[in-house]
Structure 1
């Protein structure tokens, strides 16, 4: 949208400086009219109003500060904006939520407040326990885990409102509890030969191929989490000791992994002929100028999907197919090789060894080996 604005300025022969008057002229020329069907190549016009708002904010304050909920597309009643903004500030500054966690929580709360709007509520002081029950009970099209996550976000929000005196009583206990079986979900894992087919399909003669291959190697060979891959810097690659040393984004705990030969070779190939000459220290960049670091909200699903399609990989049953599933695959492969659980836990950087036991569900053969012989149980009781 900003590129179109720059083109508009040049075409009109206007001064190359942003002003509110310029923004109004541009909006009058290209703003979307009611009922207008946009032609191919004009979808950028949908973002014109928001893009101008961002420029206004920057021109006025020198920074870009967005209210997270403004990006959700949900309609929150005006009377609820102030407590919602206060909670966002509290969650960011006092609870120290990561940007991705904060965005998810604020979205969940906005869903709830949008529901209250449909029930005729304009302010939170009219909130009753029956509204909370109705909200959860009407989420019939959601998966239980999603309902549990949203309910948790709303519960924390209500506790905050009571703590700040915005609600006369604590309504958080009125939200129905969604019971989920602990560790009930089996992680998705690839067949080992499919991982090798994926890696073999990557064209390592192009910058994209070199970058993607290095990313895939870090996930499939070292089991690095997506967030840690995106945050990886040149300073965390220790070539003299052949290690990668990071502080994990998810747990805040340090993690040291061996820079094994094939991973090191992939990284060196990327650094020599794939990574553009940029000043920032982030290892992985976008592929187009100005080659900024990969956005922290980017799930990098396309990195797997692009090469998976070229490799012609099809799965026998529905499963997760993104970058994180390669981490799961490494865990199950280590488990299948009878690697001790503490070692697997250390490699994956799990805060609790109990988390590692989830992967045992994806390895039936290991479970059979670990099963207790019924006769041993019988003799144990007999003795």
Structure 2
């Protein structure tokens, strides 16, 4: 929900966030993130005495500077990085286009946010279709932002995070995220029927062998968890993770006993109301504590980045990585093919070694 200066719900902004979840099928977390950026836009318009429905291109350029610098005097909001500003402009542009479709904003306002661009060189994963269309809409307002590889944890950092868990449920949750690359909404949305951890799942009507997890999108989860992808996918898991799940089941039964009714995998065991499914924001709170105790910033999505990076560095084919992560486009997977300092050092050392060998001959 976005509130106006009188602490009343902003009708257009709230309608946009509602549409994101129930019309566009976005997760509550995505809607919450977009909501904060739309709120920043409305704040900028009010403090700048600008009608948010009719900003000019020059005024929108001032918005970019306002977001980047942290307000007019650097004190109104937290200064934002170029990458964050660009993501914010995406949310704001979507909001204004939504309002234009409903007659709340002049059509020309939405049109001036982007311009047609002909693609001379097609990016990886781009499909021009049978017509060969190479024209896309490009944002008119963007900051130059360096492409940063996603943050991931080394083995020692991952072990420190796991060590910070205080019960079997939390350890299984953390190990599951590190071992499968699930998004937090996907993990919280898992049902017990999705966990096929027997040597053979044929009696369950499943054709996949070995322990694995089925990731299925369910739009009516009571905890608001939502799988991002509309396409179901199946992820193999290690025998160690399967054993840890069995330990968690015993812990769960010891706490809930005969009151057990929830179909969800992850439920409240140590706070009221017992037995209700964990919410994604509760998992985020868990990772905030784990970050403090491990001395390293980690979020559920850091686990996903760590899983993907290790797959790539182990030489796993990119198509396989894409399937495991549930990426629709290979472009999304390409960000994990980055090099760190150890890769650069090894490459230079390899060249030097080959020259020494050639000289010795």
Q: Same fold (TM over 0.5)?
A: yes
The runs of 5 or more residues in structure 2 that have no matched partner are: 70-78, 114-139, 202-210, 218-226, 352-361
Q: Match of 1:339, SS?
A: coil
Deviation of residue 107 (structure 1)?
A: 2.5
Shift in Å, 1:192: 1.6
Question: Equivalents in 1 of 2:187, 2:319: separation in Å?
Answer: 23
Is 1:269 matched up with 2:247? yes
| Separation of aligned partners in 2, 1:214 and 1:198 | 12
- Structure 2 partner of 1:351: 328
Q: Does residue 1:75 correspond to 2:75, yes or no?
A: no
SS at match of 1:245: strand
Distance 1:307 1:81 in 2: 35
Moved more, 96-105 or 108-117: 96-105
Superposed CA offset, 1:269-320 (max 9, x none): 11111464232211112321212211233453534743872xxx456xxxx4
Counterpart of 2:13 (choices 81, 84, 96) is 84
Query: Within 1, Cα distance between the matches of 2:7 and 2:161?
Result: 48
- Counterpart contact for 1:77–1:114, Cα < 8 Å: no
1:321-380 deviations in Å (ceiling 9; x for gaps) = 223222222222233322222222222222223322322214566689999x9xxxxxxx
- Equivalence for 2:60: 132
CA contact (8 A) 2:38 2:95 kept: yes
Which residue, out of 145, 151, 156, partners 2:89? 151
Check 1:324–1:101 CA distance in 2 against 1; reply closer, same or farther (3 A cut): closer
Q: Deviations along 1:224-283, whole A, 9 cap, x unmatched?
A: 222211111111112343221112612222111223211011111111114642322111
- 3-state secondary structure, aligned to 1:69: coil
Distance in structure 2 (CA, Å) of the matches to 1:113 and 1:307: 33
**Matched length:** 288
**Aligned partners of 2:38 and 2:92 also within 8 Å:** yes
Change in Cα spacing, 1:132 to 1:221, as seen in structure 2 (3 Å) is same
| TM-score, length of structure 1 as denominator length | 0.65
| 1:177 match | 141
Matched with 1:243 is: 212
1:221 aligns to what?
A: 179
Q: Structure 1 residues 217 and 88 mapped into 2: Cα distance closer, same or farther (>3 Å)?
A: closer
SS at match of 2:243: helix
Q: State the shift of 1:197 in Å.
A: 4.3
Distance in structure 2 (CA, Å) of the matches to 1:365 and 1:264: 33
| C-alpha distance in 2 between matches for 1:142 and 1:162 | 27
Task: Identify the match of residue 277 of structure 2 among 293, 309, 314.
Answer: 293
Counterparts in 2 of 1:362 and 1:233: CA distance versus 1, 3 Å = farther
Where 2:108 maps in the other structure, the secondary structure is coil
The alpha-carbon deviation at position 126 of structure 1 amounts to 5.8
Judging by fraction of residues, say which structure has more helix.
Answer: 1
1:272 & 1:360 partners in 2: Cα distance? 40
Q: Which residue of 1 aligns with 2:233?
A: 255
Residue of structure 2 in register with 1:193 after alignment: 156
For 1:135 and 1:280, the matched residues in 2 are separated by 47
1:95 and 2:24 aligned:
yes
Counterpart for residue 118 of structure 1:
47
Match of 2:262 among 258, 277, 280: 280
* Structure (1 or 2) with the larger CA radius of gyration: 1
Q: Is the 8 A contact 1:332 1:360 kept in 2?
A: yes
Summarize the Cα distance change of 1:92–1:308 in structure 2 as closer, same or farther, 3 Å threshold.
Answer: closer
| 1:174 Cα offset (Å) | 4.3
Contact 1:246 1:256 in 2 (8 A): yes
- The answer (yes or no) to whether the contact 1:360–1:367 under 8 Å persists in 2 is no
- List per-residue Cα deviations over 1:97-143 (Å, max 9, x = no partner): 3222222223222221122222335x655644443232222122211
